[in-house]
Structure 1
């Protein structure tokens, strides 16, 4: 984050103020709460502590809080939760947290044992023991194993849940960190194996050598035994890039690897190149998805003409790896998948010889196996899975043909299905237990109409005997950004803490998301973002018009970009809602580029350096648009100190502005958790209990 420097002479201070104003920022004089942008310090810490005490004094003292917290903890730590599998060299790995393992353990078993009713896990790495020994609040951020032995893995650990990680080489066989192995100190970094003894690393090699949004743009080759200062540069982006420049290694599971470098000048643009530095002539809006045999898979987010063929935005295509490396400037592509008008590609997994892709049709899940043919084409085989459900890919074995998929819906507990991509056989493997009584509940998909005539779908779960008199307490959730699709899923805590109490819950598939492909997202980019806000308000108004609920009984919820949505709805439609749950939000849109990783999202929101975009941002920024004398519903605004992505600054400043205007609000800041609700299950349960207690107070009386 860039802030005005302190302790400078008056003339220099005046020039800095002029520069900030010209760039669209604000000075300390015009923004009295800019001091809350300091992540930590005596004054800030005292303010946060006092605000937390007020909020916890209200919510934790509510008679419903104790039950909400107990339920949240019990469900988060339940021993019969589904263990999510990851393939690792013929074994199944799983990261697991429970009451005895707050920070978690990485554990392994065989495929056959995992598929048995009660797997016998072997603990490989105990994060609680490691954190205790090292005096750190380690949070698991995943690992990546080398392409040769598959047993040497780069473990990524975060202190408190932040995006910045420490990377250490770990031996799965011995269960120990490798003496003299690779170690990369804390930072926002990207690491890929080039071979068993070589890494391709992008990180802040020298102080300040990062983009304006805090990401690395220099890639170096680091060989075993070298210190980081001996690494040799292989690629470089620019400090003005929105995101990182990083190496990407594609592996077909048969020993063939393709090492590429991807530069991200903006959030939705990428430049792919060979390690040699030669640019690959892929369209800027495309994403590498994996490799099957000799075929490189690419998802397109724009129309593309190449080799005499035209491909539609939203398609999945394949390229010959040998041709790509020999003639990166002349690419011949083959179609794998093309979406219909109500479809979008969701996820891509690769087995040794097949592609397993999930997609959405009218926001309902599908899965398909794609098989390469000798003539260069592909055939498709639908996977027979339950209809009207959310279908997600879990993992696939790049050395075999097995894949795991998840199937869920609002009233159906999650199930894990095993797929043999070669034969097409699929079977239900594991089912999570029911967490609440769903016998008196119903689910519908309904449509609202936005002011410009666009039909906006939404899912609602509600009592089957809905009175249609506006009396049902209802929570409306949406995200609406970054092409992220929000689909229905089973939530045991929602069921126990809300649905069993007679409440309803709604998921709105507003524009800005990816539910209907790239065009659905692009419709709400930058100065067109009001469409997403209008879509959300239209769903709220539709719920009231149908007499499902009423403004007195309607609450809304959203996080991150969805937190911005909540702030906008609070300021634009305070009459529509009686509760607003604003989670880890962006709220000061005139300074978001200067806070945490905000500069990376200019492709989504626009920039204050552009006059038209600045004017729009000023018109919707909740921090700028909250007004004196307006009756707002009391919001719950919460964040975490360790959030180094969006940052806690937005939530703090918004709460301070509400306090200045005498408006009611509740503010809470967890000390740990990164861009989320907590660093472990108990911390997440605490935050969830605060939220449900808040909604009960506001909507259930």
Structure 2
């Protein structure tokens, strides 16, 4: 056989295989869903009756719910297993995932610390070395903490001499953690063990004798975790003592929604206490320390800087008696202020760095300088100032993308940061502060992704009310704008969290499959400061959905794609986003994957930490906010009827999720399957060994996200070569 004939035969074989794969996808029958029982449950909200027929699914521990979960997974597993794209996509996702990933280094005492995942390890390993160039030793390997890799580091903090490590362990995706202390010289854990810790780090006192942390009281046997005594308190734990002897530092029983964070100043003279109660606005207190340690008697009570909860107050540094704070008080895009802690009477705060045109997202004091991070149209820039606020130039970043890190102490001469973009795997740099020079520390080698084959651009779409919204578009070079490109649009839009371009395996896999990946920086996030965030909250939440819909319409109008080939995805608050816009514009999308979404907007505040989301969402307890919530709540706005044609939907959640409880996804799926929404599949994929996502093992990440891409590819009839 000649070379030409061999090539023709190979092409014909590939064409036949592709034809068979497409026909297999087309021939796949619509699934038959389990019957979800309905109960007679109606609630009255300000005189408006609202039915809740799937209330029983809120009890995820009942035998009835467990049976429902099992039957739903059987249907979904069978559907996914029949997709010809599933195994090729999982192989591709695995190949792309399999490269070294490094965390941002930090230094304590004579030790440097950073994390590394060799590629497919279930959890990243924490390493330590005496210099960044030395071969590191393992400080802590969380892969040894459980057989299945579901135990994860929930947080860690090294003592100032670098000899001890406090660390939290979370299991199966839960927010609950157990904290322990490891002697890094011997590699053994001390006897200290702290329970009932959630939403907390650890802040060591400079003397190394203990650390501050926050926890909840252990509930009485059979008591609810939302009972009268269920509120967070700040404690000081002294090494070698039982948790029962920990000293109470701060609490407020009359304000049970208060939570506490702690950070010890660089000079060891004070601990900054951040007070939160949901949302981005917080309080700030300062407590003096004595000779680098804590004494309840000598330190006294914390001094309030502000407990008005009217803005953000983020401590940056203590420069003598002057506390430097990043705040958006009277400055929606952020500014730095100086507060004299020794002033005999209250004086106006002095502005060190005024609000500018760009949103200030971070601030640190390193090497006698202030390093201030900003977002300009959702990409990072970093400016340098001296401690009096005088400009000292900018950090030269590798390109238009996302940079983070820049932590350290005022006395440090160096810091580290990471840089990434949609087509650049995360690189890590060492930054010499005095020389204003960045040098590469780690650059991952990715054998299966060649960034030169892809390109990214930033565009702006006009939302319904005229607002200008940035989106980032990434794809293979030479893309033909003919309206036929499979496109995946991702968004979040909440809690002041900015969506900035960064490399992710999901995007890389989708682009390798020939798709267009789009990141939308919609309102509700922090891309342009607090005003941008607040424009997507409470009674203005519809702006978030309008922005996302506008992004989809722009992609279609500019010939990137068409509705039948436009997929949308988001998680948590982003899952709410996907559920809401599918109900509002089912005609605009071909596939949708809401992950761990907040779907019942009338009852979300009744579960676990849901009450803390009220500053963003509002509450059904208030008449005007109830009306706004009911208007977009995914569970309550599902359309039904012969003329309704929904896109293919696959909901994902975890039955161990104790942040966005699985009842949201359970009830939404039951209602969606019961409605008349057309023939496209309406599935739910329920992970039984993981929760909200934090600390999820690598194998579970690959399986879940590859299934998501396979589901979309199958819907769009995209052939994926083995």
| 1:7 match | none
Q: Say which SS state the counterpart of residue 711 (structure 2) adopts.
A: helix
* CA shift for structure 1 position 394: 5.8
Q: 2:360 aligns with which of 338, 345, 348?
A: 345
Q: Is the 8 A contact 2:369 2:410 kept in 1?
A: no
Which string of whole-angstrom CA distances, capped at 9 and with x for unpartnered residues, describes residues 194-214 of structure 1?
453344343222527977799
| 2:455 match | 442
Q: Say which SS state the counterpart of residue 536 (structure 1) adopts.
A: helix
* CA shift for structure 1 position 619: 0.7
Q: 1:214 to 1:589 in 2, by over 3 A?
A: farther
| 2:688 match | 671
Which string of whole-angstrom CA distances, capped at 9 and with x for unpartnered residues, describes residues 277-306 of structure 1?
432247631232432543533222230xxx
* CA shift for structure 1 position 121: 2.4
Q: Is 1:561 aligned to residue 578 of structure 2?
A: no
| 2:314 match | 288
Distance in 2, Cα, partners of 1:585 & 1:141: 22
Q: Say which SS state the counterpart of residue 608 (structure 1) adopts.
A: coil
Which string of whole-angstrom CA distances, capped at 9 and with x for unpartnered residues, describes residues 319-375 of structure 1?
35xx326658445333235221xx111222332422222211122221222222xxx
Distance in 2, Cα, partners of 1:428 & 1:661: 55
Q: 1:515 to 1:121 in 2, by over 3 A?
A: same
Q: 1:173 to 1:690 in 2, by over 3 A?
A: same
Q: Is the 8 A contact 1:189 1:216 kept in 2?
A: no
| 1:470 match | 483
| 1:184 match | 194
| 1:433 match | 445
Q: Is 1:153 aligned to residue 178 of structure 2?
A: no
Q: Is 1:319 aligned to residue 365 of structure 2?
A: no
Length-normalised TM-score, structure 2: 0.84
Q: Is the 8 A contact 1:356 1:369 kept in 2?
A: yes
Q: 1:193 aligns with which of 204, 208, 211?
A: 204
Distance in 1, Cα, partners of 2:702 & 2:614: 33
Length-normalised TM-score, structure 1: 0.86
Q: 1:354 aligns with which of 369, 373, 383?
A: 369
Q: Is the 8 A contact 2:238 2:246 kept in 1?
A: yes
| 2:663 match | 649
* CA shift for structure 1 position 129: 2.7
Q: Is the 8 A contact 1:498 1:504 kept in 2?
A: yes
| 1:55 match | 76
Distance in 2, Cα, partners of 1:507 & 1:489: 10
Q: Say which SS state the counterpart of residue 356 (structure 2) adopts.
A: coil
The 10-residue stretch of structure 1 (462-471 or 92-101) with the greater mean CA deviation from structure 2: 92-101
Distance in 1, Cα, partners of 2:646 & 2:253: 44
Which string of whole-angstrom CA distances, capped at 9 and with x for unpartnered residues, describes residues 38-58 of structure 1?
232322222112212211222
Q: 1:574 aligns with which of 576, 586, 596?
A: 586
Which runs of 5 or more residues in structure 1 are unaligned? 1-13, 115-119, 304-311
Q: 1:189 to 1:428 in 2, by over 3 A?
A: closer
Q: 2:674 aligns with which of 645, 655, 660?
A: 660
| 1:6 match | none
Which residues in structure 2 correspond to 1:523-538 (within 5 Å)? Answer: 523-538=535-550
* CA shift for structure 1 position 86: 3.0
Which string of whole-angstrom CA distances, capped at 9 and with x for unpartnered residues, describes residues 475-524 of structure 1?
111111111111112234532x3212321111111111111111111111
RMSD: 2.9
Which residues in structure 2 correspond to 1:143-292 (within 5 Å)? Answer: 143-147=156-160, 149-179=161-191, 182-188=192-198, 190=200, 191-194=202-205, 196-207=208-219, 216-238=231-253, 241-244=256-259, 246-252=260-266, 255-275=267-287, 276-281=301-306, 284=309, 285-291=311-317
Q: 1:302 aligns with which of 289, 306, 329?
A: 329
Count of aligned positions: 653
| 2:28 match | none
| 2:556 match | 544
Q: Say which SS state the counterpart of residue 575 (structure 1) adopts.
A: helix
Distance in 2, Cα, partners of 1:626 & 1:213: 36
Q: Is the 8 A contact 1:103 1:127 kept in 2?
A: yes
Distance in 2, Cα, partners of 1:501 & 1:99: 21
Which string of whole-angstrom CA distances, capped at 9 and with x for unpartnered residues, describes residues 407-434 of structure 1?
2222333322221112212223332234
Q: 1:325 to 1:192 in 2, by over 3 A?
A: farther
Q: Is the 8 A contact 1:324 1:331 kept in 2?
A: no
Distance in 1, Cα, partners of 2:175 & 2:326: 26
Q: Is 1:75 aligned to residue 92 of structure 2?
A: no
Q: Say which SS state the counterpart of residue 608 (structure 2) adopts.
A: coil
Which string of whole-angstrom CA distances, capped at 9 and with x for unpartnered residues, describes residues 430-458 of structure 1?
32234424445432222211111111121
Q: Is 1:585 aligned to residue 597 of structure 2?
A: yes
* CA shift for structure 1 position 217: 3.0
Which string of whole-angstrom CA distances, capped at 9 and with x for unpartnered residues, describes residues 130-157 of structure 1?
335xx9942111211234x332221110
